[in-house]
């Protein structure tokens, strides 16, 4: 099995290409990176900044390079001992005519070889969608588009197209004769007659289309005939409607997908259509390139995007493992809820690490202060909702207002089962019951189907039904019907087990999107008692854990998934890792936080607007703004125009994601603009707020730095494979995407690392002290990252196979230390780190705090941070260890 040792995440796009990455090989080498963890590199929608909108999984994205560029880059990386883990996207593709498979489906409908590649419902009660693929990319309903003259038909090198401003879609096969059947048919060109005389589905359509296009360019008569047909179609709305009626797709208003839909999309994104990867021929077709790369030794591992969206993830992973072989490293993007584990029979090395992020984030949060924050928040916003109420409301909102069409589809599938039909349950009531079942599902997905349920899944179904019935007593009967159905106990269903399995799997394909949109992309922006935990892999319902809990989790991690990934920043995280680490500090100083925010509220009240009884911004949004400013406040305290612009862009996204005062579907620009104006005013030089904020941040930032280094060292030394998201070697205070995909100054990073390495080799203790006392430029973090990653490189067996042993801490500040060892053979590493330092006295001397060491032998240990040697018999004195910098990274001398 390939061991990545450590990974470095690259986000490829037209601004950062394969050749750009090739220039960074010397920097990667000296940084200690052993594996590149690449965003999707396959052809994507033009201008894509992330690559998840794949248009062709069998071709390199030309905007980032060529196949040869890819081979050159990976070849040079391998020559320098650096591997490649590739992000792949099996769940969805771009729903765009740029996608050649979609283009073919739009043109040929069910006759397309790619039609069943996509998750499309062939029948639908809406007559406009029955037998036609919904095309939801238009700004108005079809009738209005035609009436306003916004649709037209044209011709290009690929044939006839339907034009809508800068967008164009291929005319479907049956529309050709409708367009070309002119009233005055005196002289009909042969290339035109081929479409008029043939059957509806022309077998050699592609050849005839090419001949017509060529003839149009070469023959004046053909050009005149075709131009006349186009003029007639574009000047006669009835003729245009007749042609559009013959299409295999239906041009739809983009908002219509909130109430009806006949294809499965990624979450609520109309531009991403889901793939039937469960069909073996679809699996084989979409994985040809990645399989070839693995076979030829270019790719060492893969990361599976959105595993929960797949119809049968376990089956998919078995096929993938068989295709890629036992030596290929495989991890899945999977958010684990509390006490959830990935299925033990999945042939993978683990997850992409959001579970790790959540555990570290909670370790750095003071668990004693949770009630304080929830109570203060409710007082601030004058509400009493707890997180369970909020989650229920937000999940319900997304389901019934954004995924209503999907819910209708599931209901029709359920009602089609004869065993269900015999119960004569009202369809509307059944739909509500299915909806509540989805809302109350506590995890992203139950992976087995009913016929394969174990006791655990059966208990979970009963629990979900019970919770839903308790919340909705009037739905108890239809909910119990669902329970009997999913537990295969409904009378008369003996012959419908396969159909029930399929229905259940379809339901489970929407619990993930519901959790993601309802919780991550709605509640995480609207429920703000402590936004540090509004993060992927975490939850605002959590508020800190004890070190014992963390140790138990890490021991289990070592035993079950030693090669799973450790992540604290990714392209999906809601804020940069150091912004989150700084927010953790607030949990140590709740009294100071309350005093500061109350002062800020008074200072800034005159800048608020009042629209009737509504404050702008609302108390909830104002409270969010203060937390966001604390999290992302620049290290140098300079609130310049660039920072304000980035902050404003974030706040607009946050308001729309929250779906309370604005939304993407119905943006309230008045509210947004007034909120931005409020932020501009409170941050102006004439306001009193900036000085107060700066004074508060002077007390918070140093402890945030301590937290950042603690979580960095944990990431790089604990069981698992640590990942560094591009540019996070230094302080990362970025907002959510796309802010976290800003350009990285690798030239400066490389120069700074050269200086760090030189000074570490010359005088490690002096470097440590210097960087600790002057941390604002981020070189402190870059040094720690380099040092710990290189330790992993020198001792890969220690970090992959070395035991994980928690150390007992005693003394006055024992709650403020986490300590453990990794041991493999004669290799021995001890890590001792501070926690919750803001709740300690300033500049503590740690008094009698000791880290107790097992055994009685005298240990000679080198502190790798300073290269100083310490001797310890039964315990290490924390005060001595933290003499230069307050972190312990110790190893037995070579």
Q: Which helix (H) or strand (E) covers residue 170, if one does?
A: strand 167-170
Q: What share of the chain is helix, strand, coil (3-state, %, to 5)?
A: 50, 15, 35
Residue 306 to residues 52, 129, 328: CA-CA distances in angstroms? 11, 28, 19
Distance, in Å, from the CA atom of 179 to the CA atom of 437, rounded to the nearest integer, reads 48
Q: What is the dihedral of CA 380, 383, 389, 395, to 10 degrees?
A: -70
Q: Specify whether domain 580-699 bears CATH 1.10.10.470.
A: yes
For 351, the token pair is 């997850």
- CA nearest 446: which of 403, 486, 404? 486
For 595, the token pair is 């005093």
**What does DSSP assign to residue 666?**
S
For 778, the token pair is 């981020």
- CA nearest 526: which of 650, 659, 396? 659
pLDDT of residue 198: 65
Q: Give the residue ranges of the chain where pLDDT is below 70.
A: 198-201, 855-858, 894
- CA nearest 28: which of 5, 3, 48, 45? 5
- At what angle are helices 641-658 and 619-632 packed, to 10 degrees? 140
List of residues 6+ apart from 763 with CB closer than 8 A:
none
The alpha-helical segments, DSSP class H, found in 45-112 are: 67-79, 100-108
Region of residue 825 (left: phi > 0; alpha: psi -120 to 50; beta: else)? left
Query: Three-class SS of residue 547?
Result: helix
Residue in the block written with tokens 């399995």: 501
* Cβ pair 739, 646 in contact under 8 A: yes
Model pLDDT for residues 263-322, shown as the tens digit of each residue: 999 999 999 999 999 999 999 999 999 999 999 999 999 999 999 999 999 999 999 999
pLDDT of residue 620: 96
Neighbours of 235 (CB within 10 A): 11
Query: What is the per-residue burial (b if ≥16 Cβ within 10 Å, else e) of 658-674?
Result: bbbbbbeeeebeebbeb
The alpha-helical segments, DSSP class H, found in 587-731 are: 590-604, 619-632, 641-658, 669-682, 689-717
pLDDT of residue 611: 77
Per-domain residue ranges for the chain?
Answer: 7-90+277-333, 100-262, 391-529, 580-699, 801-891
Query: Three-class SS of residue 833?
Result: strand
- In CATH terms, the fold of domain 100-262 is Maltooligosyl trehalose synthase, domain 2 (3.30.1590)
The alpha-helical segments, DSSP class H, found in 683-778 are: 689-717, 746-762, 764-773
Q: Which helix (H) or strand (E) covers residue 291, if one does?
A: helix 288-295
**DSSP conformation letters of 211-274:** HHHHHHHH-HHHHHHHHHHHHHHHH-HHHHHHHHHTSSEEEEEGGGGGT--SB-EETTEEEEEE
Query: What is the per-residue burial (b if ≥16 Cβ within 10 Å, else e) of 465-484?
Result: bebbbeebeebeebbebbbb
Each as own residue / partner, the long-range contacts of residues 455-463 (CB below 8 Å, 24 or more positions apart, any chain) are 458/487, 461/486, 461/487, 462/487
For 106, the token pair is 């739009």
pLDDT of residue 894: 64
CATH class of 801-891: mainly beta
Region of residue 83 (left: phi > 0; alpha: psi -120 to 50; beta: else)? beta
Distance, in Å, from the CA atom of 838 to the CA atom of 848, rounded to the nearest integer, reads 19
pLDDT of residue 435: 96
Distance, in Å, from the CA atom of 348 to the CA atom of 561, rounded to the nearest integer, reads 9
Please state the φ and ψ torsions of residue 722, each to the nearest 5 degrees: -75, 140
Distance, in Å, from the CA atom of 790 to the CA atom of 652, rounded to the nearest integer, reads 41
Q: Which helix (H) or strand (E) covers residue 806, if one does?
A: strand 803-806
List of residues 6+ apart from 815 with CB closer than 8 A:
547, 835, 836
* Cβ pair 504, 560 in contact under 8 A: no
Residue 430 to residues 439, 479, 515: CA-CA distances in angstroms? 14, 8, 21
> What residues are paired with 809 via a beta bridge?
851
- CA nearest 736: which of 506, 571, 502? 571
For 613, the token pair is 């009884």
Chain length of the chain: 894
Q: Specify whether domain 7-90+277-333 bears CATH 3.20.20.80.
A: yes
Q: Judging by beta carbons within 10 Å of its beta carbon (0-12, 13-18, 19+), is residue 893 exposed, middle or buried?
A: exposed
Model pLDDT for residues 340-396, shown as the tens digit of each residue: 889 999 999 999 999 999 999 999 999 988 889 999 999 999 987 788 888 999 999
**DSSP conformation letters of 527-543:** --S-GGG-STT--TT--
* Cβ pair 735, 717 in contact under 8 A: no
- CA nearest 48: which of 11, 19, 101? 11
Distance, in Å, from the CA atom of 209 to the CA atom of 205, rounded to the nearest integer, reads 6
- CA nearest 302: which of 353, 355, 348, 354? 348
Please state the φ and ψ torsions of residue 23, each to the nearest 5 degrees: -70, -15
Q: Which helix (H) or strand (E) covers residue 484, if one does?
A: helix 476-486
């Amino acid at each position: 099995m390939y061991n990545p040792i450590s990974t470095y995440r690259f986000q490829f796009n037209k601004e950062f290409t394969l050749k750009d990455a090739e220039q960074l090989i010397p920097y990667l080498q000296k940084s200690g990176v052993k594996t590149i963890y690449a965003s999707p590199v396959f052809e994507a929608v033009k201008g894509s900044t992330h690559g998840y909108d794949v248009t062709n999984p069998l071709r390199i994205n030309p905007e980032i390079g060529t196949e040869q560029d890819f081979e050159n880059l990976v070849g040079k990386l391998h020559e320098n001992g650096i591997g490649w883990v590739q992000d792949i996207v099996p769940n969805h593709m771009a729903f765009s005519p740029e996608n050649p498979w979609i283009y073919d489906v739009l043109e040929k409908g069910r006759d397309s070889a790619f039609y069943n590649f996509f998750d499309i419902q062939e029948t639908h009660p809406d007559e406009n969608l029955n037998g036609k693929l919904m095309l939801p990319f238009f700004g108005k309903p079809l009738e209005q588009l035609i009436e306003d003259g916004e649709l037209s038909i044209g011709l290009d090198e690929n044939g006839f197209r339907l034009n809508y401003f800068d967008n164009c879609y291929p005319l479907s096969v049956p529309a050709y004769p409708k367009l070309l059947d002119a009233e005055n048919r005196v002289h009909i060109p042969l290339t035109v007659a081929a479409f008029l005389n043939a059957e509806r589905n022309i077998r050699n359509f592609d050849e005839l289309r090419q001949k017509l296009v060529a003839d149009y360019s070469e023959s004046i008569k053909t050009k005149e005939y075709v131009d006349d047909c186009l003029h007639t179609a574009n000047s006669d709305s009835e003729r245009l409607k007749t042609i559009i009626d013959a299409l295999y797709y239906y041009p739809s208003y983009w908002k219509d997908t909130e109430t009806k839909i006949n294809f499965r999309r990624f979450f609520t994104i109309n531009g991403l259509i889901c793939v039937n990867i469960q069909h073996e021929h679809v699996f084989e077709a979409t994985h040809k390139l990645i399989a070839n790369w693995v076979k030829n030794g270019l790719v060492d591992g893969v990361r599976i995007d959105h595993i929960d969206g797949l119809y049968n993830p376990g089956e998919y992973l078995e096929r993938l493992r068989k295709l890629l072989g036992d030596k290929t490293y495989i991890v899945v993007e999977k958010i684990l809820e509390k006490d959830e584990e990935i299925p033990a029979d999945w042939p993978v090395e683990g997850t992409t690490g959001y579970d790790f992020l959540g555990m570290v984030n909670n370790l750095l949060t003071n668990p004693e202060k949770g009630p304080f924050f929830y109570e203060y928040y409710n007082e601030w916003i004058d509400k009493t909702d707890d997180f369970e109420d909020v989650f229920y409301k937000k999940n319900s909102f997304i389901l019934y207002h954004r995924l209503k069409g999907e819910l209708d589809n599931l209901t029709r599938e359920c009602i089609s089962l004869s065993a269900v039909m015999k119960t004569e349950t009202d369809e509307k009531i059944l739909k509500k019951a299915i909806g509540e079942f989805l809302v109350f599902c506590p995890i992203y997905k139950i992976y087995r189907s009913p016929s394969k349920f174990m006791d655990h899944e059966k208990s979970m179904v009963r629990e979900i039904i019970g919770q839903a019935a308790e919340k909705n007593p009037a739905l108890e009967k239809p909910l119990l019907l669902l329970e009997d159905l999913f537990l295969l106990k409904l009378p008369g269903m003996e012959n419908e087990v396969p159909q029930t399995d399929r229905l259940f799997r379809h339901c489970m394909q929407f619990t993930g999107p519901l959790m993601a949109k309802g919780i991550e992309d709605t509640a995480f922006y609207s429920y703000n008692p402590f936004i540090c935990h509004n993060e992927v892999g975490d939850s605002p319902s959590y508020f800190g854990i004890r070190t014992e809990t963390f140790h138990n989790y890490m021991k289990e991690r070592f035993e079950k998934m030693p090669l799973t990934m450790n992540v604290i920043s990714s392209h999906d995280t809601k804020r940069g890792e150091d912004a989150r680490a700084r927010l953790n500090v607030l949990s140590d100083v709740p009294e100071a936080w309350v005093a500061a925010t109350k002062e800020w509220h008074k200072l800034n009240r005159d800048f608020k607007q009042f629209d009737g009884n509504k404050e702008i911004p609302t108390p909830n949004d104002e409270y969010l703004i203060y937390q966001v400013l604390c999290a992302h406040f620049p290290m140098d305290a300079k609130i310049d125009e660039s920072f304000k612009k980035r902050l404003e862009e974030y706040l607009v996204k946050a308001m729309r994601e929250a779906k309370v005062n604005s939304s993407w579907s119905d943006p309230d620009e008045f509210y947004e603009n007034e909120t931005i104006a409020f932020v501009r005013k409170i941050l102006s030089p004439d306001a009193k707020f900036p000085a107060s904020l700066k004074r508060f941040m002077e007390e918070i930032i140093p402890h945030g730095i301590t937290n950042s280094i603690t979580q960095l060292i944990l990431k790089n030394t604990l069981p698992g494979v640590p990942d560094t998201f591009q540019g996070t070697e230094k302080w990362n205070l970025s907002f959510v995407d796309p802010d976290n995909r800003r350009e990285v100054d690798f030239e400066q990073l490389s120069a700074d690392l050269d200086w760090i390495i030189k000074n570490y080799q010359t005088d490690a203790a002096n470097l440590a002290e210097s960087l600790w006392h002057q941390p604002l430029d981020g070189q402190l973090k870059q040094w720690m990252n380099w040092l710990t990653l290189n330790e992993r490189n020198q001792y890969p067996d220690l970090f992959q196979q070395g035991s994980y042993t928690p150390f007992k801490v005693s003394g006055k500040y024992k709650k403020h230390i986490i300590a453990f060892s990794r041991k493999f053979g004669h290799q021995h590493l001890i890590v001792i780190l501070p926690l919750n330092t803001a709740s300690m006295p300033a500049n503590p001397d740690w008094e009698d705090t000791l880290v107790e060491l097992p055994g009685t032998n005298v240990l000679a240990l080198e502190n790798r941070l300073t290269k100083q040697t310490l001797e310890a018999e039964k315990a290490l004195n924390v005060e001595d260890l933290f003499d230069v910098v307050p972190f312990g990274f110790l190893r037995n001398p070579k």
